[in-house]
Structures are given as C-alpha cells and as structure tokens.
Amino acid sequence: MRILGLDPGYGRTGWGVVEYLPKGNPDRQLQALEFGVMETASADSLSVRLYELQRGIQDIIARYTPEAALMERLFFNQSTTTAAGVYQAQGVLLAALGAAEIECLELTPGQIKQAVTGSGRAGKSAVMDMVCRLLNIKAPIRPDDAADALAAAIAGVHTVRSRKLMQTMRGPQ
C-alpha cells in the first residue's frame, strides 16, 4: 500500500510517499519511497504558481500511483492572506487527486501526532524523531515541510489499515 502525504502551501508544498510492506520485517514495514518539496517562485503570479503545483502533484501521482493521500486539516486564526493562498493550493491538490480518483483523507495536527508518536501533544522534534525511526532515515529530514508530509503519510497508512480492518470485521454488506 502506498500513501501520499501532503503539507500544502502555495510557496512550498511538502510531499512524501510511504509504502507499507505487511510481509516484511516487523521493524521495517514502513518505507519512504521519496519525499521533497514543490516550490514556486514568489515572483510568479498566483495562477502560474498554482499551475506549477498542479503539474508537480500530477507527476508525483503518475510516478507512485498512491492508494490514498492524507493532508493535514488546515486551520488559520491569524493571517487571512496566508490562509487564502494555502487554501487555494489545497484546492489544486484535491482537484488533482480527485482527477486521479485518489481519496484524500484529512486529519488534525493532533491526530497526525497521535498516529506517529502515540501522543497528540507531541512536539515537532518528537514527531521528527519518530518519523525518522519508523522510516529508518538516519539524517534529519529537511525541509520541515517534507518531514510533515511524511508524518501525514504515516498517519495515512494507519488510517487506511484501520479502515480495512474495520471493513473486514463487519463482513460483506
């Protein structure tokens, strides 16, 4: 199972693809296939930046064919200008995922932290440490947007696996 994690932004969007290997070594069932950021130039118009983001996510989807995606549920209480751009970027990502018929799940930051560390109140460094351990990555993941996307992908693996288990337990409907 491959899950795409996304940390949306119109200047920089973090992304990471995590694969779950159920028959592998129990300590290494999660593997980061690739991660990074899609960056857009601040000098470009918003429409050009959003188009570049669309092309970037379409390329990632084509390369990795994820089963599902997970994005952090956005919440802004301060800058409406920043919020508007991020929401527009999120819309582009959701549209590209929808066009590829890939379900996009959303979790709150606390739910992602809970899925990765066992605590919904874990700090950024605790989340980063656990992401590195779970994915067997030695060096710190940079930039933070990519690390956040990998955390989202790990939470996505747990969410999809839980859903499948619940469906199995319920039996055919």
Q: Write down the catalytic residue from 7, 67, 103, 106.
A: 7
Residue 72 annotated among the catalytic residues of the structure = yes
- What residue has token string 């696996």? 161
What pLDDT is recorded for position 80? Answer: 73
Q: Kindly list the distances between the CA atom of residue 140 and the CA atoms of 69, 137, 154, 169, in Å, as whole numbers in the listed order.
A: 23, 8, 16, 39
- Max CA distance (Å), the chain: 54
Question: What average pLDDT values come out for the chain (173 residues) when binned by 10 residues?
Answer: 96 98 80 98 96 98 99 77 87 98 96 97 96 94 96 97 88 71
**Is residue 19 annotated as part of the catalytic site, yes or no?**
no
Say which of 72, 103, 106, 129 is annotated catalytic. Answer: 72
Q: Quick check: 16 and 153 in contact, CB under 8 A? A: yes
Q: 133 in helix, strand or coil?
A: helix
144 catalytic? Reply is: no
